Amino acid sequence: MSTDTAPAPDLNLGQVTVEYSPDGHTATLLIDRAAKLNALTLNLLDELAAAVREVASSKARLVIVRTAGEKVFCVGADINHFADLSAAGMWRDWIATGHRAFDALAGLRQPSIAVIDGLAFGGGLELALACDFRVIAAEARLALPETGLGTVPGWGGTKRATELIGRARAKELVLTRRQLTGDEAVSWGLATAVAPKAELQDAVARLAGELLAGAPLAVQLGKQLIDAAADGAPSRVLEALAGGLAAATDDLAEGVAAFRGKRTAQFTDN
């Protein structure tokens, strides 16, 4: 018997959805496998990569990454989905798929915020590290505990953690499996802001407002310049090119006019 009603998704497998704010300026990616503590699978990673591609081609100016549930952001990779993989399968499929998804997220031109409202362990922390900013609940915990399982972080955690907190603290995080509180994560430089869970959304809204207040193209150029500089690209060349591009935009003219008129700029992303 046919029906016009689509079957409900099986949340045991999980899904990734994209929702846009009414003005289209903010895209929210929601990873929903709450029944399994948002543990990541190949299917979820592929869906995340597809959602990132969608957002990359949209007019969104900001990306917010959230997960479903109340106590856990993401417990990381689903052990039941990789424990029996061969060495070739781990290399070819599991590690490569995670890198593709997280590298695509990190490479978005739009700035991104991970909202960490609970435990972020292993691949869950690596997911958050692929975002530009991390706003964390004081009650949450961050960790890269893979060595206690007999393996190592596999989705960019060693590189991104080292870039953020330095070699010695990255080693402490990975080798001792230390769990960081929200306050510790901020003091280490691993998170951007911390707030009690009841005030977490207000903290996210404040940061989002600051990011959205800038000229969209300039914000996106600034993000890419910083990432390129971190990879060793010469800023004297790239800043000249980016500055030339910005000079041709309506937003720069609006920004200058607003400054001279002592008013708030109204940017149009043109």
> 126 an active-site residue?
yes
> 146 an active-site residue?
yes
The position carrying tokens 């004081």 is 138
At the topology level, CATH places domain 15-212 in: 2-enoyl-CoA Hydratase; Chain A, domain 1 (3.90.226)
CA distance 204 to 52: 20
Amino acid at 240: A
pLDDT of residue 3: 39
Burial 130-157 (b: 16+ CB within 10 A, else e): bbbbbbbbbbbbbbbbbeeeeeebbbbb
Q: How many helices (H) and strands (E) does the chain have?
A: 12, 10
The pLDDT tens digits for 139-182 are 999 999 999 999 999 999 999 999 999 999 999 999 999 999 99
pLDDT of residue 202: 98
With contact defined as beta carbons under 8 Å apart, do 190 and 142 qualify?
Answer: yes
Catalytic residue selected from 19, 54, 126, 239: 126
What's the mean per-residue pLDDT of the chain? 90
DSSP secondary structure of 49-94:
HHHHHHHHTS--SEEEEEESSSSEEE--B-HHHHTT--HHHIIIII
With contact defined as beta carbons under 8 Å apart, do 150 and 79 qualify?
Answer: no
CA distance 164 to 188: 8
The pLDDT tens digits for 54-86 are 999 999 999 999 999 988 999 998 988 787 778
The pLDDT-based confidence of 244 (bands split at 50, 70, 90) is confident
The pLDDT tens digits for 84-107 are 778 887 788 888 999 999 999 999
Ranges of each domain in the chain: 15-212, 214-261
Catalytic residue selected from 146, 210, 239, 254: 146
Average pLDDT for residues 254-263, to the nearest whole number?
A: 81
